[in-house]
Structure 1
Amino acid sequence: MFLKLDTSEVVVGTVTAVQRDFIVLQSDVFGEIRVPRSRIVSARGFDPDSPMTAEEVEEFIDLPEEAPAAPVAAPAEVPEEKPAVVWENRFEAGLTGSEGNSQNVNFSALLSLQRTTSRDEVLSLTNYRYTQTEREDTANRFDTLLRYDWRFAEGSPWSLFGQGQYEYDQFQDWDYRVSLFGGVGYRLIENETTTLRVRAGAGASREFGGGNDAWEPEGLIGFDLAHQLAKNQRITAYGTLFPSLDDFGEFRSVSGAAYEIDLTDNGDLALRLGAEHRYDTQPGDAKRSDLDYFARVVFKF
């Protein structure tokens, strides 16, 4: 008789007695062996010289029936991996002033929220500028832009975009302007140090509270450039042209450039110097050209 124990050991011998708590075997090597019944896992190979039949031995041992093999679970479905999300947020603010022979106050601020994955990008830009000279307001402008870029495929340089913008300017001949555009974008350069993107599309803008309170169809041609000069220094440039689709030769545009240097090792605090130029061939009673210079402290979060 072969008795397999719960320790994976096997005891070989002839069953000579079956007691309440033990099975007694006679081994040719170890002599009489008393095996606790609670330790027996299975019994195999009945010895014909045993005084008991195989059925009697199994009945007295009262071995538990082997549990059926557990069904093999189907492999779990691996959830589709979602693109990694990267947030790049910043708040910029700058304030200059003078008091004495002349009184001047110049304040500007920008809030940028950008969410990027391998497939799409969402950008929110909010600008505000206020200037007071000799206690009179000379500039008071606010604008906010929301743009969504969606790549044709992961890693593709091509993308579709849609954007909307709201503008307020106290010194224009309109109260506020709303514009909506859509089109195609292409990444000419995209590596660890340089990104250059161009876009083209069409849409319309409307000036509320002015002399031409109607939707005007416009085209859109623009670019964005970012280049890392060093680990703690970078430059950016951008430009967008909005040609009128009704009046050939008429257009408006906005362009700018900036230099940025980190003030801390982790880059959370930086100094940004730059300028922005806006031009409109149909400004009404306002000037065609506006040029703003700025120096701002940047807080990244």
Structure 2
Amino acid sequence: MKPFIFLLSLAFFQSAIATEIKLLNGDTLNGDVIKTENGQVTLSHPILGLVTIPSSNIKPAVVSEEKIVDKKDNGLLGTGFFKDWKRSAELGINGNEGNTQDMDIHIGVNGDFSNTTRRWSVSSVYNNGSDDTETTKSDFFAQFTRDFLNPSTPHFSFIKGRYDWDEFEDWDHQIDLSAGVGSQLIKKDAWSLIGRTGLGVSKEFGGDNDDWTPEALLGLESFWAISKHHSVEFKNSLYPNLDKLGEFRNLTELNWKIGLADINNLNLKVGFVNDYDSLANGESQENDFQYRLLLAFDI
């Protein structure tokens, strides 16, 4: 059967195409294939002239698959930093309703890493907006989440932290740190759902309240891959105030990512973020709502 496969592969080269034929005895003949018929190959050899070879004496043609070589990851911008992480940057515009009402520029960097024992998620964002020559928005945040995984159970422990700077809040800087336990509630090919609960503290610098505030944490994170080019991500973190019962902070984020099929690693990202603080005072409003239109790409 194999000789016929070889003959079939030669059928496309009927008009004297130069080729190499390997015989079963180990010899190799180079020449032009004149014809293939009746189980024989006629070869025009530069020295031997026309040579007719029974196909049973020819080694079957072997078509080898091209090896796929994984692109080596040299880290962020070739520095080795964040090597083997999934890294992305995003650039676009935010609309804002809350402490300011404007359209502003959004620049962000994200990184994710996971294996059987640990999972990292880090991100940072800078927003800036102006009206004529007057700055109407200027803020920055950086945050991280570190999960300590156990392959034998869906439960895990975690620590997370966040730093905020905002020119238009009644404080200059804010940090919060928390730790606790989480659980992989759902893990399917297209849908992941994670729950978190923990305790932590937050502190504002440069505002009226300079005390450390004890807080609880209740979190929910969902990722749904609708199709190859569409995914929806939802995150909500509720921080009940343990010092003043009934008061709380809540951070909600929803993103719809649309893959641009004709451009590799480039996505359109549409979403919103709502930051609520029931203890906001001064010029700060309780609700700070932002909607986003971004281009996200791998780095």
Identify the TM-score tier after normalising by the shorter chain. 0.5 to 0.7
> Equivalent residue for 1:293?
291
Say whether residues 1:212 and 2:248 are aligned partners.
no
SS in 2 for 1:179: strand
SS in 1 for 2:194: strand
User: C-alpha displacement at 1:187, in angstroms?
Assistant: 0.8
SS in 1 for 2:85: strand
Whole-Å Cα distance in 2 between the matches of residues 292 and 131 of structure 1? 13
CA contact (8 A) 1:172 1:283 kept: no
CA contact (8 A) 1:163 1:180 kept: yes
Say whether residues 1:156 and 2:149 are aligned partners.
no
RMSD over aligned Cα atoms: 1.8
Whole-Å Cα distance in 2 between the matches of residues 105 and 194 of structure 1? 33
Residue type matched to 2:270 in 1?
L
User: C-alpha displacement at 1:125, in angstroms?
Assistant: 1.1
Alignment of 1:174-213 (within 5 A): 174-213=171-210
Whole-Å Cα distance in 2 between the matches of residues 284 and 90 of structure 1? 35
CA contact (8 A) 2:253 2:274 kept: yes
Question: Could you say which structure has the larger radius of gyration?
Answer: 1
CA contact (8 A) 2:94 2:292 kept: no
Say whether residues 1:119 and 2:117 are aligned partners.
yes
Residue deviations 1:77-125, cap 9 Å, x none?
xxxxxxxx9521110110489xxxxxx7510122111111011101111
Residue deviations 1:167-221, cap 9 Å, x none?
1111111110111100001111112111110101001011011111121101111
SS in 2 for 1:187: strand
Whole-Å Cα distance in 2 between the matches of residues 113 and 96 of structure 1? 21
Residue type matched to 1:120 in 2?
R
CA contact (8 A) 1:197 1:224 kept: yes
Residue type matched to 1:290 in 2?
D
Residue deviations 1:276-300, cap 9 Å, x none?
0010011121111011011000111
TM-score of the superposition, structure 2-length normalised? Answer: 0.67
Whole-Å Cα distance in 2 between the matches of residues 250 and 192 of structure 1? 38
Say whether residues 1:271 and 2:230 are aligned partners.
no
Residue type matched to 2:220 in 1?
F
> Equivalent residue for 1:91?
89
> Equivalent residue for 2:142?
144
List alignment gaps of at least 5 residues for structure 1. 1-84, 98-103
Q: Number of residues paired by the alignment? A: 210
Change (3 A) 1:244 1:184: same
Q: Which has the higher contact order (CA 8 A, sep 6+)?
A: 2
User: C-alpha displacement at 1:267, in angstroms?
Assistant: 4.5
List alignment gaps of at least 5 residues for structure 2. 1-82, 96-101
Whole-Å Cα distance in 1 between the matches of residues 210 and 241 of structure 2? 15
CA contact (8 A) 2:94 2:106 kept: no
> Equivalent residue for 1:54?
none
User: C-alpha displacement at 1:235, in angstroms?
Assistant: 0.6
CA contact (8 A) 1:121 1:148 kept: yes
Whole-Å Cα distance in 2 between the matches of residues 135 and 226 of structure 1? 40
Change (3 A) 1:95 1:278: closer
Whole-Å Cα distance in 1 between the matches of residues 224 and 107 of structure 2? 23
CA contact (8 A) 1:143 1:166 kept: yes
Q: Which runs of 4+ in 1 moved over 4 A?
A: none
Say whether residues 1:171 and 2:168 are aligned partners.
yes
